[in-house]
Amino acid sequence: MKRSLLIRHILVTCVSVLLGAGAWAQEATAPASHIARAGLSRNCGLGGVVVDALTGNPLDQARVTVLLDGDPNTAEQHGATINTDVLGRFGISDLAPGQYRLQVAALHHASQSYGAALPGGLGKQILLEQGQHLNDLTIRLLPCGGISGTVRDEKGGTASGATIRALPLRNSHSVLEVRTDSLGQYSVPDLAPGRYILEVAPPDPRTPTVKRNGTYLRTYYFNTIDLGEATPVAVQPATVTGSVNFDLELVQSVKISGHVSDTTTGKPASSGVVTLQSCRTDSGSRASSYLLAVTQMESSPEDVSLLSDIGYSGRVQDSTGYFEIAGVPPGSYWAYAGVFDDENMYVGSVPVEVEEKDISNIIVQVSEGVDLEGRLHVKPEGAFDFSTLNIWLALADHPLMGRNEAKPRANGTFTLQNVTPGTYQLRVSGLRSSYYVQAARHGNGDVLDQGLTVDATTSGSLDIVLSSPGGGINGIVTKEGKPVQATVLLAPDVPRRNRLDLYVTTRSGPDGTFSLSGLSPGDFKLWAFENPNEDPISGPVFVQEYEAGGLSVSVVDGRTESVGLHVTPTVDEE
């Protein structure tokens, strides 16, 4: 099978909190008229207080942003923003009637939307009617925590200058990176509460540390070189989790080299990057299952691309297409080449087995991708707003590493540009609550169950059928006979277990109630996990771990099932 790679190096640092002088009811830094609806008087307002969720103390200089809900162009620069005063108070006036959401950020606290159960959640809508002022809102922000520890070298000495990354298991959190000091110690501050995979990497992933003809292996907590065996570290609010220590392993390393050729021009590539992707990171491991599930969330899946094992890289050095990569430890790899020009990207890959000797004859051929046309169909037929949708393809074997995305046109047609050879899974995000993807076909192939295989000869239309109403599930979550807030996970039954597009999560309310709609017909299982600091992560391996505790439920078009669901203890709680 041919494989392809869209290489992305996106490092999301800690949420930047913009500070400035704040006062009660001061003018917003972006004019409220930016989010006013035409023809409506701007005589509404919002106000309240921002406090620490643990202590109740007011938060001075917290940044409050009000966004007009339902506006596809809404972003912070289009909204009204204001800083709280020394008593944590804020006030925003000159708003038009409408539906709004509030987003709040403060130094050393996890960003929060008003009414969201967890940091990073969407939060509640606030409806303002003509002339209405709501000035009694309270927004509680959880204080951040941290992780600290020591990194030791192969002799037990201190490893200064090592790079530590905290990789979140929720993509609403940020990837943070620090280095060890002269004593080999590190501290990762300002982590939003949740769980993280801790990684020790060379200072620059493209130039691994080489020492005595060897290299230090990228290591995950607890002292494993396999991402699939990593143990997540829990971060609690206002708490530093200490003694997260690492012992680096020094192994013999080799140099691999070769050439990159462009099959489009028939000539050697004169520029580009070759990256080795370890085959050790596979979709069957528990941690990789966590990471695959993170990519299913609708908010910027590319933001967590650093969670994949980037491996070792080298640049094409001259007009012959020559490249070399030093410090490569033994193992099985895919060598991915990416060549870019002003308008196009060309990619290719080849398997590489690294043993104890240098390799000098690697040949990687790259080619341009194809533009894939498609169309959305709606059942029942009628007017439909396609502007909220995103269609994207994720590589089936490396979903974290490859993605093509398209926005549909007003008539439902779309173009996925420069899709490189490989087998992909289809995602459609932004659907209305009652709609689901009923079918997707390319030629005679069932894309939903079989995936979409693309090569240089691929043509024809990708036809996607959206249907409504889907099935629904209403229920209540209880623990020891009492209603509780929990995260509800719905997963397809075994025959469709690898259909990651069918995994759904939601949060039950304070009274334990939850509701799911727009579900694809079929057999599913339900779980509820009570954890105030993080969502459970879906995916085939995670679900298998909790198989026995799942509640079986059948989903039928146009019918809503009512269920009672008990909290399932997580592995850490059992």
- Between 252 and 290, name the one with better pLDDT: 252
Same domain, 430 and 489: no
**Of 19-23, 274-278, 337-341, the least confident:** 19-23
Q: pLDDT per residue over 335-369, tens digit each?
A: 888 887 766 677 888 889 999 899 999 999 988 78
Q: pLDDT per residue over 137-179, tens digit each?
A: 999 999 999 999 999 988 888 888 899 988 877 655 677 889 9
* 440 lies in some domain: yes
Sign of the CA dihedral with 424 first, then 347, 355, and 157 last: negative
Q: pLDDT per residue over 495-547, tens digit each?
A: 888 787 898 888 888 899 999 999 999 999 999 987 644 444 556 766 777 88
Same domain, 305 and 447: no
Report the alpha-carbon distance of residue 50 to residue 138 in Å, rounded: 6
Same domain, 303 and 188: yes
Same domain, 106 and 162: no
What DSSP state is assigned to residue 362?
E
Mean pLDDT of the chain: 79
The domain in which residue 432 lies consists of 370-467
* 541 lies in some domain: yes
Same domain, 386 and 351: no
Q: With bands split at pLDDT 50, 70 and 90, how would you rate the model's confidence at 236? A: very high
Same domain, 233 and 341: yes
Cα–Cα separations (whole angstroms), residue 218 to 226, 241, 340, 351? 9, 21, 28, 21
Same domain, 133 and 69: yes
CATH number of the CATH domain containing 510:
2.60.40.1120
Count of Cβ atoms closer than 10 Å to residue 34 Cβ: 13
Q: Name every residue whose Cβ is closer than 8 Å to that of residue 208 and which is 6 or more positions away in sequence.
A: 202, 215, 216, 253, 312, 326, 327, 328
Same domain, 202 and 298: yes
**In terms of Cα–Cα distance, which of 372, 402, 370, 405 is closest to 264?**
370
Same domain, 397 and 322: no
Q: Any idea what the Cα angle at residue 356 is, between residues 324 and 327, rounded to 5°?
A: 40
CATH number of the CATH domain containing 265:
2.60.40.10
CA dihedral 314, 315, 320, 326 (to 10 degrees): -20
Same domain, 437 and 532: no
* 6 lies in some domain: no
**Amino acid 320: pLDDT:** 95
Same domain, 197 and 335: yes
Q: What is the pTM of this model?
A: 0.64
Domain end marker among 116, 141, 166: 141
* 115 lies in some domain: yes
**Amino acid 570: pLDDT:** 67
Domain end marker among 109, 141, 173: 141
* 571 lies in some domain: no
Report the alpha-carbon distance of residue 208 to residue 312 in Å, rounded: 7
* 501 lies in some domain: yes
Domain end marker among 96, 115, 141: 141
* 87 lies in some domain: yes
Residue that the structure tokens 């506006």 belong to = 71
**Amino acid 14: pLDDT:** 23
Same domain, 386 and 376: yes
Residue 298 has pLDDT above 60, yes or no: no
**Amino acid 558: pLDDT:** 92
**Amino acid 13: pLDDT:** 23
Q: pLDDT per residue over 408-440, tens digit each?
A: 999 999 999 888 777 888 989 888 878 999 999
Q: pLDDT per residue over 442-479, tens digit each?
A: 998 999 988 999 887 888 999 999 999 999 999 999 99
Q: pLDDT per residue over 214-223, tens digit each?
A: 788 888 898 8
**Is the distance from CB of 112 to CB of 139 less than 8 angstroms?**
yes
Domain count, the chain: 4
**Is the distance from CB of 321 to CB of 263 less than 8 angstroms?**
no
**Amino acid 289: pLDDT:** 42
* 11 lies in some domain: no
